[in-house]
Amino acid sequence: MRTIFFATVAALLLFSTRQALAQNKAVDIEVEWNRSSVKGSIGVNYGKIKEIRVLQGKGSVKGNAFEIKADKAVRIKIKVENTNLDPGPEPTVVSIKTAEHPFSFFVRDVNKNNPIYIPAYQVVVLPVQDNRKYDEVEKEILMRKSRTKIQRIDEEMETSFESASRETRNMTVPIWLGTSRDMRIFEISESLPDAAIGEANIISPKRSSSPLRLEETPNGNVNYLYTMGRGVGVRNTLHRRLEEGVLPILNSTLKDDDVEYDATAFVALEKSPLQQQKGTDFLVADQYSGGHMFTEGQLEQLKTRTPAALNTAEETVLFFRSVITNRGAVPRYAWFKTPRPGTGWWTKSAYSFEDKTGFSLYGSGKVFCVSRLNGKPLPNEELALLLQPGEKAVVEFLIPHSPVSRERADALAALSYDQKFEEAKDFWLGKLHNAAQIEVPERRINEMIKAGLLHLDLITYGNEPNGTLAPNIGVYSPIGTESSPIIQFYASVGRLEEARRSLNYFLDKQHEDGFIQNFGGYMVETGAALWTMGEYFRYTHDMDWAKSVKDKLIKSCDFLIDWRNKNKKDELKGRGYGMIAGKVADPEDHFHQFMLNGYAYLGMSRIAEVLKAIDPVAHTRILAEAKAWKEDIRTSFFNAMALSPVVPLGDGTWCPTAPPWTEAEGLRAFYQKKGTFWSHGTFTVSDAMLGPMYLVFCEVISPDEQAAKFLLDYHSELFYQGNAAFSQPYYSRHNWLQARLGMVKPFLNTYYYTVSAHADRETYTFWEHMYRVSPHKTHEEAWFLMETRWMLYMENGDTLSLFRTIPRKWMEDGKVINIKNARSYFGKLNVSASSQIDKGFIEVKIDGDFFKNPQVVTVRVPHPEGKIPVRVEGGRYDAVTETVILDGFKGQGKILVYF
- pLDDT confidence of residue 348: 81
Nearest partner of 541 among 502, 490, 599, 496, judged by Cα: 496
Q: DSSP secondary-structure letter at 531?
A: H
Q: DSSP secondary-structure letter at 688?
A: I
- pLDDT confidence of residue 612: 98
**C-beta separation of 268 from 249 below 8 A:** no
- pLDDT confidence of residue 284: 98
Angstrom distance (rounded) from CA 224 to CA 361: 12
SS3 375: coil
Torsion of CA 777, 783, 784, 788, to 10 degrees: 150
Cross-strand pairs, 478: none
- pLDDT confidence of residue 7: 43
Question: Within 820-863, where are the H helices?
Answer: none
pLDDT band at 9 (very low <50, low <70, confident <90, very high): very low
pLDDT band at 6 (very low <50, low <70, confident <90, very high): very low
Q: How far apart are the first and last CA of the chain?
A: 86
Q: Distance from CA of residue 628 to its chain's centroid?
A: 30
User: What are 826-857's pLDDT values in tens digits?
Assistant: 999 999 999 999 999 999 999 999 999 999 99
- pLDDT confidence of residue 8: 41
- pLDDT confidence of residue 24: 63
- Share of residues in the chain with pLDDT > 90 (%): 94
Say whether the peptide bond before residue 485 is cis (omega within 30 degrees of 0): no
595 CB neighbour count, 10 Å cutoff: 27
pLDDT band at 218 (very low <50, low <70, confident <90, very high): confident
Q: DSSP secondary-structure letter at 565?
A: H
On average, the pLDDT of the chain sits at 95
Residue 593's region, left for phi above 0, alpha for psi from -120 to 50, else beta, is beta
Average pLDDT on 282-309 reads 97
B/e letters for 184-214, b = 16+ CB within 10 Å, e = fewer, are bbbbbbbbbeeeeebebbbbbbbbbbbebeb
Q: Is the pLDDT of residue 16 over 50?
A: no
Higher pLDDT, 172 or 198: 172
Strand ranges (E), 208-341: 210-211, 224-228, 238-243, 247-256, 259-269, 316-326, 332-341
Q: Is the pLDDT of residue 52 over 60?
A: yes
CA distance readout (Å), 149 to 153, 310, 511, 737, 744: 6, 54, 46, 16, 14
889 CB neighbour count, 10 Å cutoff: 22
**C-beta separation of 510 from 556 below 8 A:** yes
Question: Within 383-472, where are the H helices?
Answer: 406-413, 417-433, 443-458
CA distance readout (Å), 9 to 12, 22, 415: 5, 20, 84
Angstrom distance (rounded) from CA 724 to CA 96: 33
SS3 2: helix
Q: List, as one string, the DSSP characters of 97-109.
A: EESSS-EEEEGGG
pLDDT band at 345 (very low <50, low <70, confident <90, very high): confident
- pLDDT confidence of residue 192: 62
Cross-strand pairs, 887: 856
- pLDDT confidence of residue 14: 36
User: What are 655-666's pLDDT values in tens digits?
Assistant: 999 999 999 999
**C-beta separation of 629 from 81 below 8 A:** no
Q: Is the pLDDT of residue 346 over 90?
A: no
**C-beta separation of 385 from 337 below 8 A:** no
**The pairing of beta strand 74-81 with beta strand 48-56:** antiparallel
Q: What is the CA radius of gyration of the chain?
A: 31
Average pLDDT on 619-636 reads 98
**The pairing of beta strand 332-341 with beta strand 123-127:** unpaired
User: What are 635-649's pLDDT values in tens digits?
Assistant: 999 999 999 999 999
**C-beta separation of 130 from 28 below 8 A:** no
Which residues, other chains included, contact 810 with Cβ-Cβ below 8 Å and sequence gap of 6+?
Answer: 440, 441, 442, 817
**C-beta separation of 635 from 629 below 8 A:** no
- pLDDT confidence of residue 76: 97
The one-letter code for the residue type at 213 is R
Angstrom distance (rounded) from CA 703 to CA 696: 6
- Share of residues in the chain with pLDDT > 70 (%): 96
Angstrom distance (rounded) from CA 542 to CA 476: 29
Q: List, as one string, the DSSP characters of 727-746.
A: SSGGG--HHHHHHHTT-HHH
Q: Distance from CA of residue 883 to its chain's centroid?
A: 29
The one-letter code for the residue type at 676 is T
